[in-house]
A = this chain, B = another copy of it.
Amino acid sequence: MSLMFLHGRFLPVEEATVPFLDRGYLFGDGVYEVYRLYGGRPFARELHVDRFYASCSGISLEVPGTRQELVGILDRIEAHAPARSYIYFHLTRGPAPRLHAWPDACNPALAVMAVELGPVPETWYRRGVAVITYEDIRWARCRVKSLNLLPNCMAMSEARARGAAEVLFVNREGFVTESATASAFAVIGGYLRTAPLTFNILPGVTRHLVLESARESGLPVRESAFTLEELQEASEVFITNTPFEILPVAVIDDRPVRGPGPMTRELMRGMARRVEEETGHPAQCSVALG
């Protein structure tokens, strides 16, 4: 059993319970973050903690204690985490009588747990994964990484039922916004493209690192959303997130797309360098390199 931190104490995750009246349970009133450990060492943690504060601010939720205290709790959970794992942490507005408006006094509940990562097939990195397109039915504040995840669950369930690993959300105007748990990229007409943050998307940490790496490598980047039609012209398609880093897309709705190309591999090399520098351990996507 793995150790977690919940509302002030450390305990095994399987024994952890929360009050029925916690607003996280009755309203999904909370936000969360996920960052990865490599060989037990955190990667890009500061960026995730920054985004956590931004998400809290997006729903008027005050983080109890100082940032230093939060990081101290993360440190302790990391010390007990499996080497290949990620840290999940969330803050809910805590228990209160069931009324929609924020309670005058609340007792927010911080939870932190380590989750072991299962093995990922090497072919996912070498040849790519299948994705399906799915109507972007989410709310209009996706920049907040909230616990209202039902549309993401519905999309991922449909993907799994159709033998796919992820989805490409398509909005009402026909643009690909992002994936259910990842950001979406494509190389179209020689340009690396992804929807801009002004679209209704999460500011992905891996998305940010990939864009930074692309610019450092002198790749031509356009933060400009693409349609499904444009995607048919794409020479490379990939998705990025914290657990998987960079995953090439090989199939969209049963239609094959060209496998991992030169830009995807260049960005994987950049990611591998960065993970190695920061943690001293190899990135997962390095199985597709060298």
- The residues of A with any CB-CB pair to B shorter than 8 Å are 4, 6, 13-14, 16-29, 59-60, 88, 90, 92, 98-102, 111, 113, 115, 135, 137-141, 146-157, 159-160, 180-181
Contact = CB atoms under 8 A, between A and B. Distances in A.
B29 A150 contact: yes
Nearest to A92: B25
A89 B209 CA distance: 44
B101 A160 contact: yes
A274 B113 CA distance: 51
A20 B20 contact: no
Contacts of A135: 140
9 contacts: A6-B20, A13-B20, A17-B18, A100-B149, A102-B157, A137-B140, A138-B139, A139-B151, A148-B150
Contacts of A60: 154, 157
A270 B141 CA distance: 40
Q: Would you list the 10 A-B pairs with minimal beta carbon distance, nearest first?
A: A28-B28, A16-B20, A148-B148, A17-B17, A100-B156, A137-B140, A27-B149, A101-B156, A101-B160, A101-B157
Nearest to A153: B100
Nearest to A147: B28
A147 B20 CA distance: 13
B149 A28 contact: yes
Contacts of A160: 101
A153 B147 CA distance: 13
Contacts of A159: 101
A21 B26 contact: no
A180 B21 CA distance: 20
Given A20-B18, A25-B24, A59 B150 contact: yes
B98 A181 contact: no
Most buried by B among A59, A101, A159: A101
B21 A25 contact: no
Given A17-B19, A60-B157, A141-B151, 20 more contacts: A6-B20, A13-B20, A16-B20, A18-B18, A18-B19, A18-B25, A20-B113, A25-B25, A27-B150, A28-B150, A29-B149, A60-B154, A98-B115, A99-B156, A100-B153, A100-B157, A100-B180, A101-B157, A137-B139, A148-B151
A90 B149 CA distance: 17
Contacts of A23: 153
